Each structure stands twice: as C-alpha cells, then as structure tokens.
Amino acid sequence: MRHFRGSGVALVTPFSADLTIDFDALRRLVREQIDGGTDFLVVQGTTGESPTLKPAEKKQVLATVIEENNGRLPIVYGVGGNDTADVCEALRNVPEGVDGILSVAPYYNKPIQRGFVAHYKELANATDLPIILYNVPGRTGSNMTAETTLELAEIKNIVAMKEASGNF
C-alpha cells in the first residue's frame, strides 16, 4: 500500500475550444506536478469535473494520467456518489495503477451519522484500496462529525480525511 503524505494535487480536466478533453494539456499537467514536487495526484475529484464527464471520458482521463505518471507518484482516484451500491460497483472496477480512493460523502441524501458509517463500511468492503473520506457539508448538505470520523478510522482501509467543513 502506497502512503499518501504531503501535498496531493487535484488535477483539473483541461478542455479544448470545442469542449473536448485536451489530453495533451492533461499530460503536461501531470508532468508539471511530478517535476514540481507534488507528492501524489488526485484524479477525477470534483476539481477534475467528474460530475459533468461521461463514464467513458472519466476512464480516458484516468488512463491518460496513469500512463503519463508511469508509476512515479501515487494516484488517488475520485469515486463517490449518493448511491452506495453504484459507488461499490465502481470501486470493484477501478483499474491497475490507482493507489487509493477519494470518496465524497453521499450528497443530496443528507445522511445521519449512522448513514455515513453504513455507506463507508460498504465502500471499504468493496475494495482493498485505501480510502480517503471527503467531508464537504456545503456540497452534501450533511456534516460528518469527529465522532463518526473516529469510528470510521477503525476500518483498516479508511486511511485519511479530506475535511472541508471549516470546523475542525
């Protein structure tokens, strides 16, 4: 298991004037991050336009980053959503070359704390990859408490938290 320490940069998805993905620019972004000393890459988080890309485009972006990175840095892949079963299915199909998962708390559903626990336990059972929880109540409508985070931290492959509540 590769470790995630230091600065992980969320890669944007660059577009051409015709609104197709600019894969040459994406490759340049990956090289710039590697050369600039980034510690790991985050692919297809919301910064990477994941909510608006088609599944085939997401796969192409990830494949391009994996190829350009060529094993130099750990890759964290954004896999999240409000349908637990759908997210679990996506986790079962993550390709080689991904070292960890960033998974946003279920949005729109506004889960209670037990709902967060149930959701992330299912995700942890669907993959052996390390999972980084992503708490962003401004987008999901529900805040994961410190107590819930500590409970989830007991799960072997839940390894970190991206905290965006503004309330530590």
The catalytic residue positions are 134, 162
Residue 134 and residue 102 in contact, taking contact as beta carbons nearer than 8 Å: yes
123 closest CA partner among 84, 78, 70 = 84
d(CA 39, CA 107): 28
Which residues does 140 contact at the CB level (< 8 Å), separation at least 6?
104, 105, 106, 107, 108, 110
131 closest CA partner among 140, 143, 144, 122 = 122
Residue with tokens 């997401």: 58
